[in-house]
Structure 1
């Protein structure tokens, strides 16, 4: 079986992929994540997932490489990782009482065999009508500055939400494992 590499520095994706109980390495993809002018959130997520997988595969052509990216889509506006408290506050204020699509893209590339495929797994999230005190308490507790849209549903962020709708419950955390399994099987990896 070829070597498997997760082309991501995200600890969330690393934890999710570990659930599959197959050995893998982690390599930083070193990709510019700047959106292109007018780029839709779903297109941005898919482009970055493919770019990450191809960047790592170029350095490790015999490995099967997974790339992934997530963009919060607020009515066509991309919300990425906030990076700091002020941006996280602004993101959560903008999302309160609204429905946000978290566009989670996945790509699997195996250069040695010529395999490359991708998937987009959207997650519809309805936020509660949060007040400023709730937003501040959440940010102080979680400090989710490395998460698209500032919401960590696997932690206290679940208290921000009214509903989550998705075909894959792991997509919101950052790596849709159902699609990952499908693409890894298509690339020739045995999972069971």
Structure 2
């Protein structure tokens, strides 16, 4: 009688992961976790509500983006995120063009600005839904008009809330960054995101080890 052979090892298939954002910055950050994921653009009105605080706006939009895409992908784990900059209680969005970026940086020079970065994780099939916000305090130097103009011409950060990319040349505009998560300012707080993914049943390291986060 021939000895029975051991069953072939079949690695577990991770849960489908979807990023509800077309932001290149968030895509790059999520890719650091080395998990396969799809990108779906959420159809969400990002206008603030009357009297809504920047902190509340960031959380509401992160959740709205995740919910919009989760409705299309009910069997996936969906990540939504949003960032709103706050100066004197007023939200500051993406400048969109050079003139607005100049105005933003002039308003922020020598000041402390809080960037509220919220992340929501949804898993429709288990009714898991959670949202967390990571505030980052950014202290800008007393920038001259020449410094502002030089930076903007070199970097053109018109798609960034607050008109500065801290991960590149924008770091030269700052005196300090104060945060519990170094990736939050770029657009997706990976410490919090990883924690929420684990709660949703998608453990990054367990997936890489071949024994966790299976569908």
Class of the TM-score when normalised by the shorter of the 2 chains: over 0.9
Q: Which residue of 2 aligns with 1:20?
A: 33
Distance 2:59 2:178 in 1: 20
Work out which of the residue numbers 118, 123, 130 in structure 1 matches 2:131: 118
Work out which of the residue numbers 107, 119, 139 in structure 2 matches 1:94: 107
SS in 1 for 2:126: coil
SS in 2 for 1:149: coil
Distance 1:190 1:99 in 2: 36
Q: Which residue of 2 aligns with 1:9?
A: 22
For structure 2, the 5+ residue unaligned runs are 1-13, 206-215
Q: Which residue of 1 aligns with 2:166?
A: 153
> CA offsets per residue over residues 38-85 of structure 1, 9 Å max, x none?
110000000000000000001111110000000001121100111111
SS in 2 for 1:172: coil
> CA offsets per residue over residues 77-124 of structure 1, 9 Å max, x none?
100111111111111000000000000000001111100001000001
For structure 1, the 5+ residue unaligned runs are none
Q: How does 1:23-42 map to 2 (within 5 A)?
A: 23-42=36-55
SS in 1 for 2:71: helix
Q: How does 1:43-54 map to 2 (within 5 A)?
A: 43-54=56-67
Q: Which residue of 2 aligns with 1:143?
A: 156
TM-score (norm 1): 0.99
Distance 2:147 2:70 in 1: 43
Aligned residues: 192
Q: Which residue of 2 aligns with 1:181?
A: 194
Distance 2:104 2:185 in 1: 17
Instruction: Mark the structure with the bigger radius of gyration.
Output: 2
Q: Which residue of 1 aligns with 2:10?
A: none
SS in 1 for 2:121: strand
Distance 2:179 2:17 in 1: 27
